[in-house]
Amino acid sequence: MGSRVTIRDVAERAGVSNATVSNVINEKGKVSESTRKEVLDAIDALNYRPNASAQRKLQSSGPKSIGLVVKEMHNPYFADVIIAAQEAANEKGYSIMLSSSEGKRDTEGRAVDLFVEKDVDGIVINPLLDRDADLTHLFELKRRNIPFVLLERVRGLRSNLVDIDNVKAAREITTYLIELGHKNIVHFSGPEYSMHAEERIEGFRRAFFDSKLVYSEDYVVRAGAHLEEGYEKGLAYFQDRPPEDRPTAAMCYNDLVAIGLLRALRELDIDVPGEVSVTGVDNIKTCEYAPVPLTTMGVPTAEMGRAAVEMVIRQIEAGGQHEPETVNLQAELTVRESTAPPREVASAE
């Protein structure tokens, strides 16, 4: 076992006291070359490794750190958040440690536990929505008085939150499509484990109610959060639907799903935006590099990361006496080439 060997084992083997070994390790001078060598040999022979916790953390409190748990590594959205969070943390003298739940709730729980175990000063977490309401690890944080902020609302938990107004964002981009003249719009919605997904469905629906169009639950097709899901669900959806029965616009949960859909439409030889307009949410950089530059609701990811980190730090340094804070960020429409008026309207004009 690696860490079983203690400083005293080394001392004994070298025939000196533990203090001397400590001095050698920390190069505190004051050690003769000969004993130094003996100690070094003993360390080598025993493969000794100082226990970092005992070494520093017990006395002073080590480097300030924040744990950050995201939902998936494959979404550039999180890369943006992470980079901004790291920057903000560094500015304040904190370091960030990351972990990704990859959509698995137990992984999320273990990540949080690990951070607690490693004694981070605070945690930022983009939680998975939980049907079973298993918020144990979050309540555990509360119990332990460890400051944390959420990047997505969780039902039944009052806590610090940095989030965007998803209902509004989805409503706005759907309205944009409706005003373009689209009447038959499909929404490829997000994963079930996400509050954001629910909120965007809600926004989609509200846009319909705002207009004169009738809304049907059939307009919502569950997709997910990844490229593949946009592709597969998109392919399945458009494949066996005769052109006249086809929606003229697809509002996707996020950019990845939209880009996946773009691939499906390309393979089906359906023109974007000629036959179908496509929109995403997030405005990840890839939008400009997609087969058709993507119209999307831009989420201020960098601000989110920064705001979240600044919020935890505030909580940490206030000693937890703070009331829960909430920051709500707004998404912003960016029009690119993947949207246009539907053909009928376009040609009628």
Partner DNA sequence: GTGAAAGCGCTAACAA
Partner DNA sequence: TTGTTAGCGCTTTCAC
Closest to DNA by CB, 32 vs 321, is 32
> Among a copy of itself, DNA, none, what does residue 32 contact (CB within 5–8 Å per kind)?
DNA
Environment class of 54 (CB within 10 Å of its CB; exposed 0-12, middle 13-18, buried 19+): exposed
Asked if 236 touches DNA (CB under 7 A), the answer is no
Q: Which of 19, 52, 133, 346 binds a copy of itself (CB under 8 A)?
A: 52
Q: Which of 8, 19, 41, 102 binds a copy of itself (CB under 8 A)?
A: 102
Q: Which of 13, 50, 170, 264 binds DNA (CB under 7 A)?
A: 50
Q: Which pair of tokens denotes residue 75? A: 């979404």
Residue 180: half-sphere exposure toward Cβ, Cα within 13 Å: 26
Size of the site for a copy of itself (CB under 8 A): 67
Q: Which pair of tokens denotes residue 114? A: 């690990």
Asked if 28 touches DNA (CB under 7 A), the answer is yes
The footprint of a copy of itself on residues 63-92 (CB under 8 A) is 63, 65, 73-74, 76, 78-79, 82-83, 86, 90
Q: Which of 37, 285, 324, 332 binds a copy of itself (CB under 8 A)?
A: 285
From CA 231, how far away is CA 235, in angstroms rounded?
6
Closest to a copy of itself by CB, 72 vs 165, is 72
Asked if 39 touches a copy of itself (CB under 8 A), the answer is no
Closest to DNA by CB, 34 vs 347, is 34
Q: C-beta of 7: minimal distance to DNA in Å?
A: 3
The footprint of a copy of itself on residues 296-325 (CB under 8 A) is 316-317, 319-321
> Among DNA, a copy of itself, none, what does residue 289 contact (CB within 5–8 Å per kind)?
a copy of itself
Q: Which of 28, 49, 155, 158 binds a copy of itself (CB under 8 A)?
A: 49
Asked if 56 touches a copy of itself (CB under 8 A), the answer is yes
Environment class of 268 (CB within 10 Å of its CB; exposed 0-12, middle 13-18, buried 19+): middle
Mark 187-216 with x for binding to a copy of itself (rule: CB under 8 A) and - for no binding: ------------------------------
Q: In sequence order, what are the residues at sequence separation of 6 or more whose Cβ sits closer than 8 angstroms to the Cβ of residue 326?
A: 160, 161, 162, 163
Footprint on this chain of a copy of itself (rule: CB under 8 A): 1-3, 43, 47-54, 56-58, 61-63, 65, 73-74, 76, 78-79, 82-83, 86, 90, 95-100, 102, 107, 110-111, 113-114, 116-119, 121, 144-147, 227-228, 231, 259-260, 262-263, 285-286, 288-291, 316-317, 319-321
Binding interface with DNA (CB under 7 A): 6-8, 15-20, 22-23, 25-26, 28, 30-32, 34-36, 49-51, 54-56, 58-59
